[in-house]
Structure 1
Amino acid sequence: MSESFPRLHARTRRFTLGVPRGFTIAPGGDRVVFLRTKGGSDPVTCLWEYDVAGGRERLIADPRALAVDEDDLPPEERARRERSREQAGGIVGYSTDSAVTTAAFALSGGLYLADLKTRSVRKLKTAGPVIDPRISPTGEHVGYVTGGALHVHDLEDEVDHVLARPESPEVTYGLAEFIAAEEMDRMRGYWWSPSGDAVLAERADVSPVGRWHIADPANPSRPAVEQRYPAAGTANAGVELFILALDGSRVPVPFQDEYLVTASWDAHALLIVTMARDQRTMRLLRVDPATGSSTLVREDTDPAWVDIVTGVPGHLSDGTLVWAASLDGGHRLIIGDEPVTPATLQVRQILDIDGDAVLFRASGEPTEIALWAYKDGRITLVSPAESGVYSGHTAGGTLVVTGQTLGDEGSVTRVIHHGKARGHIASHAERHGLDLRVSLIRAGGRDLSTAVLFPSGHVPGSVRLPVLMDPYGGPHAQRVLAASGAYLTSQWFADQGFAVIVADGRGTPGRGPEFERAVLHDLASPPLEDQVDALQGAAAQFPDDLDLSRVGIRGWSFGGFLAALAVLRRPDVFHAAIAGAPVTDWRLYDTCYTERYLGLPGDGHYDSSSLFADAEKLDRPLLLIHGLADDNVVAAHTLRLSSALLAAGRPHNVLPLSGVTHMTPQEVVAENLLLLQVDFLKKSLGASSI
């Protein structure tokens, strides 16, 4: 008997296991270092190397061979993995020297060093459990954090130095604070100088941040875990910067803004990027490493908010600045002071700067993310012409392109050297076995990117199916993409007897700043209106296939908020909802995300975007699901909404998940969550006719 999709989906961590990732290309372009598990259901990530000329792989480090027990992860490492949504174990990150001859990584708190030439791996003696080891560009030292202190291990004399020791338990050196990791895509808190004789280090003091407590009600003997959570309108961690030299000197780097966005230290300059608390101003500063004084390089402003683009700042080989900003209605790549991409091409991410070339991801059509290169004043498409979602890396004339189309069973990783194909880096991901029936359309008055999925055996026009809306629908995340992997769960739901609709409304990325900024001061009305618009638009294109008298909606996180919102405010359209880990009151969510869209709580935009005032309106089936160990959208969101519904006398269902965080990596939990959701929808929408 073949394995069910829910079980396979859970066991493979959503089919991410076995997929190569984390690429680093040697300067000469002859080798590619990467991460991958050995199989599609193997959760232990190994370190590998690919020989470009010969097309051969070599295993560098296998955690199992090192006899590492990952049940003993340091709490700080567990938190880092939660922030990065890491679902695998083993070697989930590594760093290399500039020559890519040595790699450093952490395993269960231990610090390991791998010689990439000999494939020898050794464990280094450290002062405590290791977080975020980073080898210096010269390969002579490895930095790491333990107990909040920033250490440097000298690889020649095997001596451990403490560069900075925390002054109190609330202080850390060298780690990104919660907001940077969760909302600014910055997972690091220190940066080596090019010469390897100093680091730029973040000092984070969480003492101003409010204390929250994450309890485990299923195990009352366990004490609650204290967490410093910067809720909207409250204090953030105090962040400072210091240049810490290996000779013991310490130079402060003052800056005026609330947020440290990122930093970059290369042969041309030390740059830092800061952002104001209201997120309408971003400053790029050049820092003098000798004095810590800074000079303003550029200042970007926006009446709504400025956008953080990962991968910048940087420099071309001649020192020309590489930047990205929103200008003239588009997210654009900027070289020096000039935008070099058209406003119609939405730049998503800067991937690599290799000499005079810049590799970046961008969208012309919102459902596609292509790979582009800039060089000598021109931009060139370097990913395949076929519609899909692509990413990659480049160095030394070698280009690694990863991508997936609607027709692909999984992702494909191609290696190209000086324009010639040099083979593929294999994926060991499991095959999902689904017959994808996806139609990408533009729906409604705003031509919303929409995917419509039918059961694999559905004959068009033969029967009107109950409809399941399956959105995320909010900022940062896009669901409607020209890639098969985006629709696996949606297709499985369709195969249970539904027509599934996935729609990206206003606020989602891919269509430019104006579309994204439509949710300013209102996270509820535009996203909800667009789900209704997409539903009606899809029904107009498939009039004989969709039964609009039976419409359910499900979602997680922002999608959970949107699902609950839908049955509360538009019960005439939505007849049942499943809200997973929903944000129900934006006052309970974090500063950086919430204030970007709604301002401060006193600005008057929170009540209209929250759910409590609508509790008495509920007259449709609503299932609330929440992990009790969630430290991002805490369980209080669901519990308080449930209390408001109870006070209003409105029946509803609550499914608490003991020990589950904002992710659901536990295999049995993830599998049964899908099965329980289908059962709820069938009962709520009329099981006899599904």
Structure 2
Amino acid sequence: MTDLLLSPAVEARLPTVFPAACHNLSVAPHWLDAGRFWYRREGATGVEYLLVEAATGEKRAAFDGAAVAAALQDEAAFAALEITSVEGETIGLAQGRRRWLWRGDVGQLESLPARPHADDESLSPDGKWVLSRREGDLWLRPALGGAERRLTDTGAPHFEWAKSPDQSLETILIARRGLRLPPIALWSPDSRKIFTYQLDERAVRRVPIVQNVPEDGSFAPKLYEMRNAFAGDTELPIAHQAVIEIETGRIIPCGPADVTETSGLEKREAWWSGDSGRVFWLEHDRYEREITLVETDSATGAARRVISERAETFVEVNLAYGAMPNIRVLDGSGELVWFSQRDGFAHLYLCDLATGAVKAQITKGDWPVVELLGVDTAQRQVIFLAGAGEGAADPYQRRVCVAGLDGGAMRVLTPEPGDHAPVLRDLGWAEILEANGANGPLASGLSPDGGYIVVTTADAARLGQSWLCRVADGARVAELEQGGCDLPLVLPERVELLAADGLTRLFGMLWRPRDFDPARQYPLLDLVYPGPQCIQAPRAALPHDELTKIAWAQAASAAGMAVLMMDGRGTPYRSRAFHELCHGNLADPGFLSDHVAAFPQLGAGRPWLDLTRIAIMGHSAGGHAAARGILAWPEVYKVAVSTAGSHELRSYNRCWPEKWQGELIRYADGSSNYDSVANALLADRLQGHLLLGHGDMDENVLPSTTLQLAKALELAGKNFDLLLTPNDDHASFKSNPWVIRRILRYLTQKLGCAVLA
């Protein structure tokens, strides 16, 4: 690999290396109770564990880290410890199934029996039962030992109980890693029932994936298969939901439900009532144009529709695609907090649970609710993240706010300039495993009673500062951590631009080259991801959850490029009308036309930008956009790097394109409303340098989409570069160090950067 090595400055900023140089960019508190939490920090000599008293902000070492590490003799286990309990100087610790007690008074680490369930099993809330799945059926056993019994007996191939859909985009990856997910089932609070489903994928399209270099060292290609419905397919996976009584094994059908990439249960779109008598769940229609909250009687299966949200384009439960719904069922008071964009912005409404009628609009204004963090029923208030508003200098900057359930004035807890947010939960399968009762409570910025919140504040000019805030009056109780980086950073400049319509304000981040000299000219790299389910430009210089993206900007800057990340029209976190512009318009992904309009604006005040040398680069939907950029605007983009691009949405998991492009309509002449999105139809327009890349085990965006574009370019007689790697999937391709170096080499060579390795 030595012939691919880049300059030391670039090597130190590669996405595979750069995150290790960043420290304490945020704090993820794990609350032991309403008044205490613990968190990990990156100390000078490694991971440290701190305990914090919320009332005073006093923090101290949770235990003697050096002594515990020495007793464990397992560096990886020490770095992943969870604190499960604190009683004086006796600390409960866990890692995976392993358990210990650290007795600080005598300095001893005492091993405890392993927890009774594995990662692929589910423990009941009372700790008495362990649920597992095998050969498509559910099995139950006592947690403390005893005979196992079969809970269902109707499982069959591709008609399995409590299974994550094949189209989850990681099914083959999970199988290749030898992982098993726990059963997808929601325990009732009294541990006497579960809410789950039998997933019917029998008629769904069969999609093959060929592994050309099997991990076992054999030479014959290995065939994997998954069931994945494409846009326009008639046969879809269906979840036949049911309540199952643990004691009797009785199965109470609760009706069918559509599934997207994952099931509603995996997306946390189901809730039990406090008395375990009812289940509430969200029903989606195929095209995400209607979402309904359904209440089901857990004893009879009788259902009623509580409230629905409808739109001609799409409806959402959170502005972040696939995130936890901004909905809470308050069955104790017979109420519901509902999320809606009915007044043009994303807001919260208090509704009657019996009738669905709106009792009060909790929030209102020309800004969106970004995340519902919690509901304090005792104080009758909600704690949430909100955008700054259309009139703000930066509408994407977030604020922590409090509003009364019954309406009234809103309080902003973080009025200072900058972006303010707690650590937000992810919904990947790693989070599902952790939520399965593995090692105690998940990290949450908000305390269990809603009295305190841990917030990280940052902006383009400063790294994250994390602090503890009291919700009652917004007072800062204590500073917890200041983010840092071991490497010199190029801090970005926040830029405001006008869209192609000449009216709409747009925003982005611009990084200068690391060796910046105003007397020289530098090429520009447009790093794109078009959404429309997210934004591309980071809200701060070094967000803890976007280090890979930032690493690309820092590495490219060190290689002699200016770097732009901006958001065109049609993305979330602003008005409803702003976001709806994307619908049916994926032929202009992320409004690349706005990028093209923005370049002269950037260059007008920056003579050091060479607008004759603009490159575009993206992965996945960004890969589609990167290829679209150089094909549709060959006079603007001279270099493009398109990896894992979704160049043909008719051969993609139907959930994403059907929500954003709409229903696939086939016309009598054989054309369709999806034709304009296909990059292969523009192959004859290529003029510049194009690198196409893909991993051959990508089950998210199939390798065929890149190869089909490659064939179209070949038939058009175009010169392009093709990079295929064995055994890389959607995530590992873009994190492959060899691939990263190849891409950076390609960019520097084709752009003629003055800084070369």
CA offset at residue 600 of structure 1? 3.4
Greater shift after overlay, 420-429 or 526-535?
420-429
Counterpart of 1:382 in structure 2 is 413
Deviations 1:21-47 (A, max 9, x none): 765434x4133366x5867999xx999
CA offset at residue 69 of structure 1? 13
Where relative contact order (Cα < 8 A, 6+ residues apart) is larger, the structure is 2
CA offset at residue 63 of structure 1? 12
Alpha-carbon distance in structure 2 between the residues aligned to 1:520 and 1:476? 11
Q: 2:703 aligns with which of 635, 648, 654?
A: 635
Counterpart of 2:441 in structure 1 is none
1:18, 1:37 within 8 Å by CA — same for their partners in 2?
yes
Q: 2:281 aligns with which of 272, 284, 294?
A: 272
CA offset at residue 285 of structure 1? 0.8
2:523, 2:611 within 8 Å by CA — same for their partners in 1?
yes
- Secondary structure of 2:659's match? helix
CA offset at residue 385 of structure 1? 2.1
Counterpart of 2:34 in structure 1 is 29
- Secondary structure of 1:602's match? coil
Greater shift after overlay, 513-522 or 385-394?
385-394
Map 1:21-420 → 2, pairs under 5 A: 23-26=29-32, 28-32=33-37, 52=54, 54-56=58-60, 58=62, 107=96, 122-124=113-115, 130-131=119-120, 133-145=121-133, 147-157=135-145, 160-164=148-152, 167-178=155-166, 189-219=184-214, 220-234=219-233, 235-247=235-247, 248-255=249-256, 261=264, 262-267=269-274, 269-309=278-318, 310-316=324-330, 318-336=333-351, 337=358, 338-355=360-377, 356-364=380-388, 365-376=394-405, 377=407, 378-383=409-414, 385-391=416-422, 392-396=445-449, 397-410=451-464, 412=466, 414=468, 416=470
Alpha-carbon distance in structure 2 between the residues aligned to 1:244 and 1:95? 30
Map 1:635-654 → 2, pairs under 5 A: 635-654=703-722
Map 1:284-683 → 2, pairs under 5 A: 284-309=293-318, 310-316=324-330, 318-336=333-351, 337=358, 338-355=360-377, 356-364=380-388, 365-376=394-405, 377=407, 378-383=409-414, 385-391=416-422, 392-396=445-449, 397-410=451-464, 412=466, 414=468, 416=470, 421=476, 423=478, 431-444=486-499, 445=502, 446-460=504-518, 462-485=519-542, 487-525=550-588, 527-540=591-604, 542-603=605-666, 604-664=672-732, 669-670=736-737, 672-683=738-749
Q: Which amino acid aligns with 2:739?
A: L
Greater shift after overlay, 1-10 or 309-318?
1-10
1:584, 1:612 within 8 Å by CA — same for their partners in 2?
yes
CA offset at residue 175 of structure 1? 3.7
C-alpha spacing 1:3/1:563, structure 2 compared with 1 (3 Å): closer
CA offset at residue 457 of structure 1? 4.1
Deviations 1:66-118 (A, max 9, x none): 89999xxxxxxxxxxxxxxxxx999699999xxxx9999994xxx56788999
Alpha-carbon distance in structure 2 between the residues aligned to 1:513 and 1:152? 46
Alpha-carbon distance in structure 2 between the residues aligned to 1:543 and 1:182? 44
Q: Which amino acid aligns with 1:442?
A: L
CA offset at residue 468 of structure 1? 1.2
CA offset at residue 602 of structure 1? 2.9
Counterpart of 2:750 in structure 1 is 684
- Secondary structure of 2:629's match? helix
CA offset at residue 414 of structure 1? 3.6
Q: Which amino acid aligns with 1:205?
A: D
CA offset at residue 454 of structure 1? 0.9
Q: Which amino acid aligns with 2:291?
A: M
CA offset at residue 410 of structure 1? 4.7
Q: Which amino acid aligns with 1:29?
A: A
CA offset at residue 443 of structure 1? 3.5
Deviations 1:588-626 (A, max 9, x none): 211111111223333522110110111121121001111
2:167, 2:226 within 8 Å by CA — same for their partners in 1?
no
Alpha-carbon distance in structure 1 between the residues aligned to 2:102 and 2:236? 41
- Secondary structure of 2:516's match? coil
Deviations 1:471-509 (A, max 9, x none): 212212212233112544213312322222211012222
1:106, 1:130 within 8 Å by CA — same for their partners in 2?
no
2:620, 2:646 within 8 Å by CA — same for their partners in 1?
yes
CA offset at residue 584 of structure 1? 0.7
Alpha-carbon distance in structure 1 between the residues aligned to 2:308 and 2:541? 40
TM-score by length of 1: 0.83
- Secondary structure of 1:123's match? coil
Alpha-carbon distance in structure 1 between the residues aligned to 2:143 and 2:634? 65
C-alpha spacing 1:554/1:633, structure 2 compared with 1 (3 Å): same
CA offset at residue 275 of structure 1? 0.7
Counterpart of 1:73 in structure 2 is none
Alpha-carbon distance in structure 2 between the residues aligned to 1:166 and 1:68? 44
Asked which structure has the greater CA Rg, the reply is: 2
CA offset at residue 242 of structure 1? 1.1
TM-score by length of 2: 0.76
Deviations 1:569-600 (A, max 9, x none): 11011111011111110012111111112233
C-alpha spacing 1:216/1:9, structure 2 compared with 1 (3 Å): same
CA offset at residue 140 of structure 1? 3.8
Q: Which amino acid aligns with 2:525?
A: L
C-alpha spacing 1:322/1:297, structure 2 compared with 1 (3 Å): same
Deviations 1:423-444 (A, max 9, x none): 4666898644313142332344
Alpha-carbon distance in structure 2 between the residues aligned to 1:149 and 1:93? 32
Alpha-carbon distance in structure 2 between the residues aligned to 1:307 and 1:94? 36
Q: Which amino acid aligns with 1:367?
A: Y
CA offset at residue 194 of structure 1? 1.7
Q: Which amino acid aligns with 2:191?
A: G
CA offset at residue 149 of structure 1? 3.9
- Secondary structure of 1:362's match? strand
Alpha-carbon distance in structure 1 between the residues aligned to 2:36 and 2:755? 57
Q: Which amino acid aligns with 2:340?
A: A
- Secondary structure of 1:367's match? coil
2:621, 2:646 within 8 Å by CA — same for their partners in 1?
yes
CA offset at residue 230 of structure 1? 2.1
How many residue pairs end up in the alignment? 653
Greater shift after overlay, 609-618 or 375-384?
375-384
1:628, 1:657 within 8 Å by CA — same for their partners in 2?
yes
C-alpha spacing 1:369/1:346, structure 2 compared with 1 (3 Å): same
CA offset at residue 7 of structure 1? 5.9
1:103, 1:114 within 8 Å by CA — same for their partners in 2?
yes
Alpha-carbon distance in structure 1 between the residues aligned to 2:231 and 2:166? 13
- Secondary structure of 1:32's match? strand
